[in-house]
Amino acid sequence: MNFTFGDAIEMGDAVNRQFLLAARPQGVVKETDFEYRELSVPTPGEGEVLIKTSHISLDPSMRGQMENRADYVAPLELGDVMRAGGIGTIVASNHSDYAEGAQVSGSFGMQDYAVSDGNTLPFRVFANDVDPTVALGMLGGTGMTAYFGLLDIGEPKAGDVVVISGAAGATGSVAGQIAKIKGCTVFGLAGSDDKCVWLTGTLGFDSAINYKTQDVAAELDRLCPKGIDIYFDNVGGEILDICLARIAMNARIVICGGISRYNATGPLPGPKNYFNLVFRRARMEGFIVIDYAQRFAEATRVMQGWIDAGQLKQQATVIDGFGELPRALIKLFEGYNTGKLMVRTT
Amino acid sequence: MNFTFGDAIEMGDAVNRQFLLAARPQGVVKETDFEYRELSVPTPGEGEVLIKTSHISLDPSMRGQMENRADYVAPLELGDVMRAGGIGTIVASNHSDYAEGAQVSGSFGMQDYAVSDGNTLPFRVFANDVDPTVALGMLGGTGMTAYFGLLDIGEPKAGDVVVISGAAGATGSVAGQIAKIKGCTVFGLAGSDDKCVWLTGTLGFDSAINYKTQDVAAELDRLCPKGIDIYFDNVGGEILDICLARIAMNARIVICGGISRYNATGPLPGPKNYFNLVFRRARMEGFIVIDYAQRFAEATRVMQGWIDAGQLKQQATVIDGFGELPRALIKLFEGYNTGKLMVRTT
């Protein structure tokens, strides 16, 4: 790693800037886990398009990919371009189905340019008038995760009490709004008063708990005297146990993420209250959004309708500068962002 | 507690022998947690029947009831008759629907006689030619637990790999046989070589692992190279974690019991591998058999068909003598029984 962060890297389009995985993180992600490289811009072959990314997404799952702990994605090897979702524009096309100028999103990696034939590196096409931060946010991977996790795994019914951890994150904030649309009472857990104000004031959550300053168990006892019907978990750890102790009959616990676990070294304790699943006839279920790829168009259509009706909102935390990508990922795990975190590369 | 175990208590039918809850167990159940008492035989009122029990069932869930930890049953107070399932005969009837001589099972408690109007203490009627150890075993609460837990929660498909812990117990042994009937490959975990031989030799399990002498993880790796589709858990603890680490895609983990936990004092660790539910898109679900009471007749009909066809077998460990009830429960937690454990009271 011989790139110094802060160096000027605004060399224009002449090069393809990349961040590679340089080291598997031990504990928290560090800048030295990345290596910066510049290559020449690739040339699309016959049947291929060249995509120039404008925004790159930072997501908690990237931590597991760096470690190669998560076996649900293809292994990321040392020296590989960091995997990351992004959105950009087709700047050259040798494929009759895809026109130059089209806005497309996909797993383009931490780089300026990607080449695709539309299959080996699949992408979604968005109308050019769709805000790229929305396409990458509410309508992107985290929005899809919220949609299918809440609706297909959580199975909300009107009147259900829904608790969401990591509620001010990209996924949690969308899941909570969808639960409201479905007629649920929604409580969010977040890590700052500002985030809590955003959840209740802007997104319509019924209440929010600052888990860093408030007694989560006592607040949940107060807010959910009849128990929790759906717990949408993005964090794991102690909060999962607190919620497990408070589930209602036939509750659904949606295991979406476990950000409290991702930077740990070595094994972590499991949810000691899991046996409440028996007493409460409840289930705890995990899922991965890529399994729902065939239904992304359906979800996008439905969610666009909610956006148009003003029922679904987002906040994007946009950091400027390609060179900020490693630090942006580090900030994600520090709870820096409200809503979707992304880097604008241009 | 002034009853000395081993005292002669064969006083015939003149009295109603009872065991009461004398103390909430600390750690393992002890004989001093029970109090013996003799009352006169109760007289059934108008619309009531008098039942004389012949066999009383010992079940792991009794531990939680004694402690009042499990909130899924009405609290058992100190001085109450110990709750227990049993089977017996209607010896006097003032109810037009129920004839004297009928064989009935229900939660009659640790006593010789119970009075019921058929509603406040519900019971099931079995034909007199049904072996009472079968009515209380395969067709009793543990059989129903196996049936609904495996079929409704586990949702087995032909070809599924099913692993069952506590496989030589009353519930596990039935669940495994039902899985075989459904075309699954079934592996059982049990605590002695004799139990393992019974599982494979008599019940048709594909293989069995003695968890006390064998390396469970290594054996499961060998037996289930493609992972576990259904894990039917009766024990919890380390074995749950070992199985969680080996689940296949879309696996179902049926939390039926956690006998390794029941005698513990203080909180126990949870399943540290729970996050594999995400990687494997799997679910872990609890249930309580009483929720399925409306379908017991259906299950009994189906299971009687399997019994008649020789596809479903049981072994009952029957201990003679009412006074043995406390020691029988202690033995249950020591793994004494193969199949259903009960005390014959007469």
A287 neighbourhood in chain B, CB within 8 Å: 278, 281
The answer to whether A282 contacts B285, with C-beta atoms less than 8 Å apart, is yes
Residue B223, pLDDT above cutoff 50: yes
pLDDT at B179: 98
The answer to whether B261 contacts A280, with C-beta atoms less than 8 Å apart, is no
pLDDT band of residue B140 (cuts 50, 70, 90) is: very high
Q: Return residue ranges of chain B for CATH 3.90.180.10.
A: 12-137+314-344
A267 neighbourhood in chain B, CB within 8 Å: 272
The answer to whether A274 contacts B268, with C-beta atoms less than 8 Å apart, is no
Fold of B12-137+314-344: Quinone Oxidoreductase; Chain A, domain 1 (3.90.180)
What's at A162, amino acid-wise? V
The answer to whether A275 contacts B255, with C-beta atoms less than 8 Å apart, is yes
Distance from CA of B175 to the nearest CA of A (A): 17
SS3 per residue for chain B: CCCCCCCCCCCHHHEEEEEEECCCCCCCCCHHHEEEEEEECCCCCCCCEEEEEEEEECCCHHHHHHHCCCCCCCCCCCCCECCCCEEEEEEEECCCCCCCCCEEEECCCCECEEEECCCCCCEEEECCCCCHHHHHCCCCHHHHHHHHHHHHHHCCCCCCEEEECCCCEHHHHHHHHHHHHCCCEEEEEECCHHHHHHHHHHCCCCEEEECCCCCHHHHHHHHCCCCEEEEEECCCHHHHHHHHCCEEEEEEEEECCCHHHHCCCCCCCECCCCCHHHHCCCEEEECCHHHHHHHHHHHHHHHHHHHHCCCCCCCEEEEECHHHHHHHHHHHHCCCCCEEEEEECC
Superfamily name with CATH number, domain A141-289: NAD(P)-binding Rossmann-like Domain (3.40.50.720)
pLDDT, average across residues B322-340: 94
The answer to whether A275 contacts B286, with C-beta atoms less than 8 Å apart, is yes
pLDDT at B346: 77
pLDDT at A180: 98
A259 or B254: which leads in pLDDT: B254
B261 neighbourhood in chain A, CB within 8 Å: 275
A53 or B267: which leads in pLDDT: A53
pLDDT at A346: 77
Distance from CA of B284 to the nearest CA of A (A): 5
pLDDT, average across residues B286-300: 96
Which stretches of chain A sit within 8 Å of chain B by CB? 70-72, 236, 241, 255-258, 261, 267-288, 291
The answer to whether B258 contacts A275, with C-beta atoms less than 8 Å apart, is yes
pLDDT band of residue B237 (cuts 50, 70, 90) is: very high
The answer to whether B272 contacts A268, with C-beta atoms less than 8 Å apart, is yes
pLDDT at A74: 66
Percent of chain B topping pLDDT 90:
85
pLDDT at B2: 38
**Low pLDDT (below 50) residues in chain A:** 1-12
pLDDT at A3: 40
Q: Return residue ranges of chain B for CATH 3.40.50.720.
A: 141-289
Which of A255, A269, A279 lies at the smallest CB-CB distance from B270? A269
pLDDT in tens, B63-95: 888 887 655 566 789 999 999 999 999 999 999
Whether ipTM > 0.85 holds is yes
The answer to whether B269 contacts A274, with C-beta atoms less than 8 Å apart, is no
The answer to whether A291 contacts B284, with C-beta atoms less than 8 Å apart, is no
Tell which of B275, B287, B289 to mutate to test the A interface (max A CBs under 10 Å).
Answer: B275
pLDDT at B238: 94
In the block, residue with structure tokens 């035989």:
B41
A280 neighbourhood in chain B, CB within 8 Å: 286
A274 neighbourhood in chain B, CB within 8 Å: 255, 270-271, 274, 284
Give the predicted TM-score (pTM) of the model.
Answer: 0.91
The answer to whether A285 contacts B267, with C-beta atoms less than 8 Å apart, is no
Residue B293, pLDDT above cutoff 90: yes
pLDDT, average across residues B176-196: 97
Top mean pLDDT of A12-21, A266-275, B6-15, B310-319 is at B310-319
Residue B8, pLDDT above cutoff 50: no
Contact partners, residue B102, CB within 8 Å, separation at least 6: B89, B90, B125, B128
Asked if residue A149 lies in contact with residue A142, where contact means CB atoms within 8 angstroms, the answer is: no
pLDDT band of residue B267 (cuts 50, 70, 90) is: confident
pLDDT in tens, B24-59: 998 899 999 999 999 999 999 999 999 999 999 999
Which of A272, A278, A283 lies at the smallest CB-CB distance from B267? A272
pLDDT, average across residues B126-134: 96
B289 neighbourhood in chain A, CB within 8 Å: none
Q: Does domain A15-137+314-344 have CATH number 3.10.450.200?
A: no
